Amino acid sequence: MNEIDNDEAATGCGSTPNALTAASFKSSYKPIWCPGCGDYTVLSSVTKALATMGVAPKDCAVVSGIGCSSRIPAYTTCYGFHGVHGRSLAAATGLKVARPDLQVLVAGGDGDGYSIGGNHFLHACRRNVDMTYLVMDNHVYGMTKGQPSPTTEPDWDSKLSPGGTGLRVFHPLVVALASGANFVARAFAGDLNGTAAIIAQAMKHPGFSFVEILSPCVTFRPEQREWRKLVRPAAVEPTDDAARAARRLMTDDGFNIGVLFAGDRAPYPASMRQPRSTVADLESEFAL
Amino acid sequence: MQTHIAAPTSVSIALAGSGGSGVMTAGTVLLAAAAKAGAYGLMVRTSGPQIRGGEAAALLRLGPQAMSSLDDGFDLLLAIDWQNVNRFADEIVLGPRSVLIGDPDEGEAPEVFKATGARYAPLSMKKMAKAIPGAWVNMIALGLSGTLAGLPLQALQDAVRESWKKPDTLEANLKAVAAGAEAAADIAANLASNGGAMARLQATALSAQPRWMISGNEAAGFGAIRGGIRFCAAYPITPATEVLEWLAPKLVEVGGTLLQAEDELASINMIVGASYGGVPSITATAGPGLSLMTEAIGLAVASEVPIVIVDVMRGGPSTGIPAKSEQSDLSFAVSGLHGDAPRLVVAPTSIGDCLGATQWAVHLAEALQAPAIVLSDQFMGQSRAIIDKPVDAGYRAQRLTAEANTPDYKRYRNTPSGISPMAIPGTEGVTYTADGLEHSEAGIPSSQSRDHVLQLDKRQRKLDLFDYGPYWADLEGTGDAVVITFGSTTSAVREAIARAKAQGVDLRLVAMRLLAPTRPEQMAAAVQGARRIIVVEQNHGAQLFRYLRAWYDFPVSPQSHHRPGPLPLRPGELLTALLDWRNAK
């Protein structure tokens, strides 16, 4: 199920000549990712989901930080912003608040989002700006060749932390929920269509939508090839009750796939666009 | 640039007391009263480290012309109480001509002030206030100090009427002002027979010029909006918070927005994101915040996204002295990014120029698609001054943007000017990815030597080739002795130069507004014929001096006069230093 699927019917996109397809969103630039990397399929899921939104590439912005998965903006035909490590949510927040007309998608990895960018993750959830955040979680820093991230198991051995970090694993979905994210979901990179559908739902949902995508790193975490066997559709319907969602998330094993919470909190207000005063009016307070 | 040389006939007043005693309010109203009487003036706020309730003082200087610097000492120190006011002894310099007024019921005046030889006039101000139900002691102090300074009672009471927020106690406090004025008459009579009258303002005709009352931080905020800023991301920090608090409602008024960020890492990245979206964007901070922001300022350099950062400098390093001024972020501002990262650094030369310099910085950042740092400081930022209404120099944000469907569009095209059209999201057929990675002209990440050299050259060239015009520096005076300075120190230097001129010594001033990029040709012209050059600044490391030595060729080897904050450089101190330097063999 991880081959590229161009069946537009699967995501409900029409087939008129002007219709946007996944291909409309895919750039000709060749990814730097390793063969077999989960991020390839996430890219396909993203382009497929964008095609279902009916928003032209010129009206979409893909914002990222630093890391393997953060290379994704240039692989789309959208406006892209490849900023500094850990600050994608801040850059995207500025962009979306200043330009509420744009469809803003933020993407990155677990190190970028949960470690160096952890504070922005909390506050992006609280702020609830209408944008979607995709984290391609592979429980490792891949670009720097294999160091433990906040989602790495405590006993995972590495050169930087021999014998493991001994640290408790970070639980991004629970943190997102507790911090106020309005949409919380988990997806698996191996399921192109399923992930595309979840991303599309996330983009359509008002406010800050968070999608954690299990995306195997076949180079530094080859054992993650087994994720394919472990993932399963969540046996529950999405809830708008944060307390229920929290109980589910606190007890799940990290392999339940689907939309786990869809809240109804009002998004951060869009930027005021209608001036009430001229610049010259502002001078009056200084005049003697 | 319009400039004002402070008249030597100004009056300097310090109103001190514990926080909450109302001295800042009294100072603000006193400044407003001076404005009503046709005078100019300046009020500097100083306080201890406590958030509330610590010692506080309003330092005022009033005179017949606009001023942007404190004088060498004070004619009057009026303390409502003495709680820790002795800590201001270095800041509030008194002498035998000065007058010291304190409330004997609040204890004796501190020895450190008495030892200056200042004439002491005890007055039971709290009892006077108590005798008028609803009156505040700071209004007694207002009437007293204002009258001693020569302001008419009418102006003082009119200023109170305009600023009073509680109508039920207004009448009582107008009486308090009158009671203070009456007491002042008695004190003045005593002074006349005890060493001579205190300096006072001569009656001035109401200035016909339209005038403003403004703080440097408000001026920076207004300059930002007038330049075209419509987005701000804010994280509070002393002494820059007032820029942000002023902008918060005003941006909404003009159709923009301000967003409070979770930290400075967020605020700087937010403005880069917003500006990438085509909206001119700003943030304001102080040294610690600027330190946190540097990585993303480099991102703005590499991705060629215009942003403006106002750095209201305070004592450093580290947390330093948050509420006191120092010009010690200069080295960091001009060179503190990793990699070869050309950026703009602009410094206002007076409180009023915080407006023009910030407005210009917006214009430069937008025109050059580069980050601009405005180096204000606590002294300019938090001081309030009466100034002639500044002339709008007309600088506005004008970004070169890409047309829809431009054939063969390349975001980072190597143009002759170095400036390449920026595609704004929403524009058809020119999408690209802005990148902090080194990139090709098309914006594709590249570690190729050719691309790196090309883009480094492009980013430097656009700053080097730009015509900054005469606004790069304020050039004043004649003579073969040249004083180079920047920022708030400029005002004290100007005044020292005016005093030197009064003694028949001509000094030439170069007050640099553009600190980066460097302007070697313009500087060479500015110092042409110089036989002596001195660099004046307020920091410990002679940062401007070293910077100039590194980048500029001078006809003679420059000297340096520098010292750190928190005490401001005084005109008299500078006059002595400049005359010594000028007359040295």
CB B581 within 8 A of CB B500: no
CB B62 within 8 A of CB B75: no
Answer whether A84 sits within 8 Å of B269, measured CB to CB. yes
Instruction: Determine the topology of domain B472-583 in CATH.
Output: Rossmann fold (3.40.50)
CB A71 within 8 A of CB A31: yes
Angle between helices B137-148 and B167-192 (to 10 degrees): 40
Strand partners, B580: none
Q: Is residue B261 less than 8 Å (CB to CB) from chain A?
A: yes
Angle of CA points B525, B530, B535, to nearest 5°: 90
Q: Of 3.40.920.10, 3.30.420.40, 1.20.120.80, 3.30.56.10, which CATH number belongs to B11-192?
A: 3.40.920.10
Which residue intervals of chain B bear CATH 3.40.50.920? 472-583
Q: Considering the entire predicted model, what is its pTM?
A: 0.95
Residues of B within 8 A of A271 (CB-CB) are 231, 256-257
Query: Mind telling me how many Å the CA of B420 is from chain A's nearest CA?
Result: 17
Structure tokens at B559: 């000297």
CATH code of A13-285, in short, is: 3.40.50.970
Angle of CA points B351, B357, B361, to nearest 5°: 150
Peptide bond preceding B555 in cis form (omega within 30 of 0): no
Of B222, B254, B303, the CB nearest to A275: B254
Which residue intervals of chain B bear CATH 3.40.920.10? 11-192
Number of A/B CB contacts below 8 angstroms equals 181
Give yes or no for residue A177 having a pLDDT over 80. Answer: yes
Which residue is closest to A119 within chain B, CA to CA?
A: B262
- Res B203: pLDDT: 66
Per-residue pLDDT band at A10 (split at 50, 70, 90):
very low
Q: Which residue bears the tokens 């580290």?
A: B318
ipTM: 0.95
Q: Residue by residue, what is the 3-state secondary structure of A143-195?
A: CCCCECCCCCCCCCCCCCCCCCCCCCCCCHHHHHHHHCCCEEEEEECCCHHHH
Q: What strands, in cross-sheet order, belong to the sheet with B99-102?
A: B119-122, B99-102, B76-79, B11-18, B55-63, B40-47, B384-388, B211-215
Query: Mind telling me how many Å the CA of B393 is from chain A's nearest CA?
Result: 14
Tell me how far apart the alpha carbons of residues B179 and B146 are, in angstroms, rounded to a whole number: 12
> What are the start-end ranges of the E strands in B185-340?
211-215, 231-234, 257-260, 281-285, 307-313
Tell me how far apart the alpha carbons of residues A224 and A217 are, in angstroms, rounded to a whole number: 7
Structure tokens at B273: 């994101």
Which residue intervals of chain B bear CATH 3.40.50.970? 213-388
- Res B265: pLDDT: 98
Answer whether B274 sits within 8 Å of A90, measured CB to CB. no
Residues of A within 8 A of B425 (CB-CB) are 58-59, 61, 79, 95, 99, 102
Structure tokens at B49: 């480290």
* Element holding A282 (H helix, E strand): helix A279-282
Residue ranges for chain B with pLDDT beneath 50:
1-8
- Res B207: pLDDT: 67
CA atoms within 13 A on the CB side of B526: 25
- Res A271: pLDDT: 65
CATH code of B213-388, in short, is: 3.40.50.970
* Model confidence pLDDT, tens digit, residues B102-161: 999 999 999 999 999 999 999 999 999 999 999 999 999 999 999 999 999 999 999 999
Answer whether B259 sits within 8 Å of A94, measured CB to CB. yes
* C-alpha separations of B277 from A73, A102, A144, B103, B379 in Å: 15, 9, 31, 59, 34
Mean pLDDT in residue range A159-185 = 97
Give yes or no for residue A211 having a pLDDT over 70. Answer: yes
Query: Mind telling me how many Å the CA of B431 is from chain A's nearest CA?
Result: 5
CB B572 within 8 A of CB B503: no
Q: Is residue B540 less than 8 Å (CB to CB) from chain A?
A: no
Tell me how far apart the alpha carbons of residues B351 and B383 are, in angstroms, rounded to a whole number: 7
- Res A113: pLDDT: 98
- Res A5: pLDDT: 38
Q: Taking the domains of chain A in order of start, what are their residue ranges?
A: 13-285
Answer whether B425 sits within 8 Å of A102, measured CB to CB. yes
* Residue A287 DSSP code: B
* Model confidence pLDDT, tens digit, residues A125-135: 999 999 999 99
Which residue is closest to B206 within chain A, CA to CA?
A: A288
